[in-house]
């Protein structure tokens, strides 16, 4: 039903408004609420959710939002976490698009999220709210996984996926409304999307843009989009008392676990605990130790369910954070303790949290242009993040935040390649909200030039255009494309898939020896990349068996994801007629060709063993060590690596033994010895180059 009287009295907008009530039809003289998407009566679950939706703070502002949306092409919305903006605003935009639909033309609403977990979980929630099946009218799109259909009208996606869509459709013609959610997190993909969208609105008067932020720095977005209207929606929050430690904590993990125990045992107020940590390993360790400590305290203490939350957890396990707390007993309060990465800062709202523990750190990708390395580093969080974390404690009642500290933008080469594919030639003057450092941009362009993705004039090459079609880092894309010429694309396809998913090896603290022995059974003498290939082959040969994975300390979910990724990449190869081929396994060139293909993509990530016994990265001269996780039982003279890990030491991880002559023949532009820094590495390469020339001369070449 439509509330005409309300829309007339409160708005002069010519558009018709959907009220908070669903459509009504009459059947057999009975009024029945019908779902306009399924043409079926709404379910009982829908009505249960409906009452909760009506009480969200954002609902008071629906008419105002629709008014601003109708009268403006762009708008900025500030809504505190828990206000309901991520679930409700996109649904209202769907109403708006449907009301203005042109017959025969279907326009979607896209809502971007900075994290895969959020895109999947929010889409599932909104599908429930709209009483439709996930993947039909409401879907999601994340890297290597599309859960959408021809019926989809609302799509949650990562910002990177929408950026990839823009590569093939620069004006994003299929969308009527684009919502950039959690814009305050400022991922590089989001910033580039904003620059592209700013150009799109100049060419498409029919598109609407909504920028949503959880913090009050939204004024920056407002001014970026020509002073578009700003609408503020308060959250439903209670006061939060904040505590700091008097002295810096030497071991924040130990301090965090201790604080969880103290809260659970000593706090007399009912309420759950949210602990922020930096990554999966820390989270799993904390959960085990907390459980052990609570069990040791005996039955006099209330039950405490410790629930981990990080991005690589299976979706069904992520949903455990919404489970009710264990029941309380007289004098023994039952609680749940969610131990999470910064996913829980803004992307997901967990009701019932009263106590937040904030050690003040998170893992962030940091790019060092000097050594061309992007590393995941543990860094102090920003003030805005600290405020967001504290705010999680005041959702349902007054809360407490324990800060375990005293009171007292990068530019990735994959994104540069995508910008080139989008037809943006002048990257220096591209309208970034905050431009990257010139050195960072130049290093990214330099790498793409060495990969032959762009020419010396900075123009995208045919190879570069093909590389941009793959949802991969340019080095992986170059490796995969080159592998067809080396007759090993089937194997490189498997290795690429394995490198695109989380670590497949499981190493429980209580069974490290057994896990290491199991890993050794897959080890290849030439290194870690070929070991990953062995694991994938064994997984397929054992019919993707769950028990086989368990027995061999292999993460089953990781392997299934790798298999899905391989299928998706294979389809892209087929689309561009890239052959899927293999060298005869009995041939001496079987593994040599695979290693050469690795060099074709990662020739800039090679370390040389010096006479001193230390490794130094080629050209950049960074002192590095082989990571302890490598299967190599020897120190190869030339080590190609997939990752540069910065911790207390510089480590290179996922390493393969390669030959120096391959470096010179496969990447002659990069290994131009006339412009090579002096040292052990150059002396060795000069010797190899002279030997190659002598060999060619002896053959009369």
pLDDT digits (tens, 9 = 90+) for 276-306: 998 888 899 999 999 999 998 888 899 999 9
Residue 112: HSE in the Cβ half-sphere, 13 Å Cα cutoff: 33
The least confident of 211-220, 314-323, 677-686 is: 211-220
Find, among 242, 317, 245, the residue nearest to 287 by Cα: 317
Query: Do 224 and 259 sit in the same domain of this protein?
Result: no
Alpha helices in 542-588 (DSSP H): 546-551, 556-575
Could you tell me which residues are beta bridge partners of residue 273?
337, 355
3-state SS, residue 84: coil
**5 compared with 541, residue with greater pLDDT:** 541
Query: Do 165 and 283 sit in the same domain of this protein?
Result: no
Indicate whether 239 pLDDT > 70.
yes
Residue 399: HSE in the Cβ half-sphere, 13 Å Cα cutoff: 26
**pLDDT, tens digit, for every residue of 551-601?**
999 999 889 989 999 999 999 999 999 999 999 999 999 999 999 999 999
Residue 530 placed within a domain? no
Q: Residue 28: its pLDDT value, please?
A: 43
Q: DSSP label at 329?
A: B
Work out the percent of the chain whose per-residue pLDDT is above 90: 50
Q: Residue 210: its pLDDT value, please?
A: 95
Are 145 and 564 in contact by the 8 Å Cβ rule? The answer is yes
The least confident of 516-525, 644-653, 667-676 is: 644-653
The total domain count for the chain is 2
Q: In whole angstroms, give the CA distance from residue 353 to residue 364.
A: 25
**pLDDT, tens digit, for every residue of 208-223?**
999 998 765 666 777 7
The least confident of 250-254, 305-309, 584-588 is: 250-254
Q: In whole angstroms, give the CA distance from residue 424 to residue 411.
A: 15
Query: Do 200 and 288 sit in the same domain of this protein?
Result: no
Q: Residue 411: its pLDDT value, please?
A: 47
Q: What is the mean pLDDT of residues 236-255?
A: 81
Find, among 9, 6, 30, the residue nearest to 18 by Cα: 6
Enclosing domain of residue 279: 240-403
Q: DSSP label at 73?
A: S
Q: In whole angstroms, give the CA distance from residue 492 to residue 504.
A: 17
Q: Residue 19: its pLDDT value, please?
A: 40
Task: Write the CA distances from 172 to 108, 360, 524, 572, integer angstroms.
Answer: 10, 39, 46, 21
How many C-beta atoms surround the C-beta of residue 406 within 10 A? Answer: 12
Q: Residue 345: its pLDDT value, please?
A: 79
The least confident of 28-32, 488-492, 613-617 is: 28-32
Indicate whether 382 pLDDT > 80.
no
Q: At what angle do helices 556-575 and 489-499 cross, to 10 degrees?
A: 130
Q: Residue 195: its pLDDT value, please?
A: 85
Q: What is the mean pLDDT of residues 618-638?
A: 92
**648 compared with 119, residue with greater pLDDT:** 119
What predicted TM-score, i.e. pTM, was given to this entire model? 0.61
Considering the chain, what is the average pLDDT of its residues? 85
Find, among 248, 556, 213, 238, the residue nearest to 408 by Cα: 248
Residue 208 placed within a domain? yes
Find, among 461, 499, 462, 481, the residue nearest to 579 by Cα: 481
Q: In whole angstroms, give the CA distance from residue 69 to residue 96.
A: 9
Are 148 and 138 in contact by the 8 Å Cβ rule? The answer is no
Q: What is the mean pLDDT of residues 505-509?
A: 87
Find, among 428, 451, 342, 340, the residue nearest to 388 by Cα: 342
- Work out the angle at residue 312's Cα, subtended by the Cα atoms of residues 308 and 317, and round it to the nearest 5 degrees: 50
Q: In whole angstroms, give the CA distance from residue 426 to residue 412.
A: 16
* Max Cα-Cα span within the chain: 99
3-state SS, residue 514: helix
Q: Of 201, 233, 265, which residue is a domain's last?
A: 233
Q: Of 387, 403, 419, which residue is a domain's last?
A: 403
User: Would the CA dihedral through 18, 19, 21, 24 be positive or negative?
Assistant: negative
Residue 497 placed within a domain? no
Query: Do 192 and 335 sit in the same domain of this protein?
Result: no
Residue 650 placed within a domain? no
Residue 72 placed within a domain? yes
Q: Residue 6: its pLDDT value, please?
A: 34
Q: What is the mean pLDDT of residues 192-221?
A: 84
Indicate whether 365 pLDDT > 90.
no
Query: Do 327 and 306 sit in the same domain of this protein?
Result: yes
User: What is the rounded end-to-end Cα distance, in angstroms, of the chain?
Assistant: 84
Q: In whole angstroms, give the CA distance from residue 78 to residue 189.
A: 20
Here the tokens at position 353 are 């949290």
Q: In whole angstroms, give the CA distance from residue 305 to residue 364.
A: 28
Q: Residue 606: its pLDDT value, please?
A: 96
Q: Residue 330: its pLDDT value, please?
A: 87
Residue 217 placed within a domain? yes
The least confident of 89-98, 208-217, 411-420, 499-508 is: 411-420
Are 53 and 59 in contact by the 8 Å Cβ rule? The answer is yes
Residue 65 placed within a domain? yes
Q: In whole angstroms, give the CA distance from residue 314 to residue 111.
A: 22
Q: Of 353, 384, 403, which residue is a domain's last?
A: 403
Query: Do 87 and 62 sit in the same domain of this protein?
Result: yes
Q: DSSP label at 531?
A: H
Query: Do 258 and 227 sit in the same domain of this protein?
Result: no
Query: Do 24 and 128 sit in the same domain of this protein?
Result: yes
Query: Do 169 and 297 sit in the same domain of this protein?
Result: no
Query: Do 172 and 53 sit in the same domain of this protein?
Result: yes
Kindly report the CATH number assigned to the domain that includes residue 204. 3.40.50.300
- The winner for highest mean pLDDT among 165-169, 189-193, 580-584, 622-626 is 580-584
Nearest 10 degrees: Cα torsion 177, 181, 185, 189: -40
Q: DSSP label at 504?
A: -
Are 120 and 316 in contact by the 8 Å Cβ rule? The answer is no
Work out the percent of the chain whose per-residue pLDDT is above 70: 85
Q: Residue 280: its pLDDT value, please?
A: 87
Indicate whether 68 pLDDT > 60.
yes
Find, among 463, 355, 423, 392, the residue nearest to 196 by Cα: 423
Q: What is the mean pLDDT of residues 148-162?
A: 93
- The winner for highest mean pLDDT among 33-47, 178-192, 226-240 is 33-47
pLDDT band at 432 (very low <50, low <70, confident <90, very high): low
Are 452 and 464 in contact by the 8 Å Cβ rule? The answer is yes
Query: Do 26 and 132 sit in the same domain of this protein?
Result: yes
How many C-beta atoms surround the C-beta of residue 314 within 10 A? Answer: 11
Query: Do 149 and 265 sit in the same domain of this protein?
Result: no
Q: DSSP label at 469?
A: T
Q: In whole angstroms, give the CA distance from residue 153 to residue 132.
A: 11
**594 compared with 449, residue with greater pLDDT:** 594
Residue 34 placed within a domain? yes
Here the tokens at position 686 are 């000069």
Are 375 and 330 in contact by the 8 Å Cβ rule? The answer is no
User: Would the CA dihedral through 82, 324, 114, 173 be positive or negative?
Assistant: negative
Q: In whole angstroms, give the CA distance from residue 565 to residue 585.
A: 24
Are 367 and 412 in contact by the 8 Å Cβ rule? The answer is yes
3-state secondary structure 114-140: CCHHHHHHHHHHHHHHCCCCECCCEEE
């Amino acid at each position: 039903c439509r509330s005409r009287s309300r829309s007339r009295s409160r708005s002069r907008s010519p558009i018709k408004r959907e009220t908070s009530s669903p459509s009504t039809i009459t059947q057999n003289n009975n009024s029945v609420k019908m779902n306009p998407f399924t043409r079926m009566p709404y379910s009982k679950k829908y009505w249960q959710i409906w009452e909760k939706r009506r009480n969200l703070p954002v609902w008071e502002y629906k008419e105002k939002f629709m008014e601003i949306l109708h009268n403006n092409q762009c708008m900025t919305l500030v809504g505190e976490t828990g206000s309901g903006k991520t679930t409700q605003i996109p649904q209202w935009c769907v109403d708006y698009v449907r009301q203005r639909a042109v017959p025969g033309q279907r326009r979607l609403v896209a809502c971007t999220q900075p994290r895969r977990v959020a895109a999947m979980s929010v889409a599932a929630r909104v599908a429930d709210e709209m009483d439709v099946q996930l993947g039909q009218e409401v879907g999601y799109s994340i890297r290597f996984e599309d859960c959408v259909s021809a019926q989809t009208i609302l799509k949650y996606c990562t910002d990177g996926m929408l950026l990839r869509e823009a590569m093939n459709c620069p004006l994003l013609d299929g969308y009527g409304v684009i919502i950039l959610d959690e814009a305050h997190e400022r991922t590089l993909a989001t910033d580039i999307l904003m620059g592209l969208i700013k150009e799109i609105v100049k060419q498409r008067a029919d598109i609407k843009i909504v920028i949503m932020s959880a913090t009050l720095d939204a004024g920056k977005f407002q001014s970026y989009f020509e002073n578009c209207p700003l609408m503020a929606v308060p959250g439903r929050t209670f006061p939060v008392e904040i505590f700091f430690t008097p002295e810096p904590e030497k071991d924040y993990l130990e301090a965090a676990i201790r604080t969880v125990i103290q809260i659970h045992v000593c706090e007399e107020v009912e309420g759950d605990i949210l602990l922020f940590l930096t990554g999966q390993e820390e989270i799993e360790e904390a959960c085990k130790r907390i459980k052990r400590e609570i069990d040791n305290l005996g039955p006099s203490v209330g039950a405490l369910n410790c629930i981990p939350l990080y991005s690589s957890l299976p979706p069904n396990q992520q949903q455990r954070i919404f489970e009710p707390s264990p029941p309380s007993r007289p004098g023994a309060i039952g609680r749940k303790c969610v131990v999470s990465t910064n996913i829980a800062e803004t992307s997901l709202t967990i009701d019932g949290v009263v106590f937040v523990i904030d050690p003040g750190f998170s893992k962030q990708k940091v790019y060092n242009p000097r050594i061309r390395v992007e590393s995941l580093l543990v860094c102090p969080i920003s003030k805005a993040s600290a405020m967001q974390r504290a705010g999680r404690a005041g959702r349902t009642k007054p809360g407490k935040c324990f800060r375990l500290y005293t009171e007292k933008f990068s530019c990735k080469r994959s994104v540069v390649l995508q910008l080139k594919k989008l037809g943006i030639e002048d990257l220096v003057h591209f309208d970034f909200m905050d431009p990257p450092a010139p050195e960072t941009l130049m290093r990214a362009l330099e790498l793409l030039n060495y990969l032959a993705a762009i020419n010396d004039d900075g123009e995208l090459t045919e190879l570069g255009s093909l590389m941009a079609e793959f949802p991969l880092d340019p080095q992986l894309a170059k490796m995969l494309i080159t592998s067809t010429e080396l007759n090993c694309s089937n194997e490189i396809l498997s290795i690429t898939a394995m490198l695109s998913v989380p670590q497949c090896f499981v190493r429980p603290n209580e069974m490290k020896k057994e896990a290491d022995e199991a890993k050794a059974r897959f080890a290849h003498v030439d290194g870690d990349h070929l070991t990953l290939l062995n694991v994938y082959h064994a997984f397929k040969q054992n019919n993707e068996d769950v028990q086989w994975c368990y027995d061999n300390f292999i993460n089953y979910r990781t392997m299934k994801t790798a298999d899905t990724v391989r299928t998706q990449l294979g389809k892209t190869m087929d689309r561009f007629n890239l052959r899927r081929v293999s060298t005869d396994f009995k041939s001496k060139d079987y593994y040599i060709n695979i290693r050469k293909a690795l060099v074709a993509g990662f020739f800039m990530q090679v370390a040389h063993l010096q006479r001193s016994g230390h490794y130094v990265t080629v050209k950049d001269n960074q002192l590095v060590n082989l990571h302890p996780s490598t299967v190599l039982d020897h120190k190869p003279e030339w080590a190609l690596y997939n990752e540069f890990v910065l911790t207390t030491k510089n480590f290179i991880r996922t390493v393969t033994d390669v030959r120096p002559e391959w470096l010179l023949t496969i990447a002659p532009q990069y290994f131009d010895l006339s412009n090579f820094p002096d040292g052990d590495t150059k002396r060795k390469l000069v010797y190899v180059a002279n030997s190659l020339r002598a060999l060619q001369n002896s053959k009369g070449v």
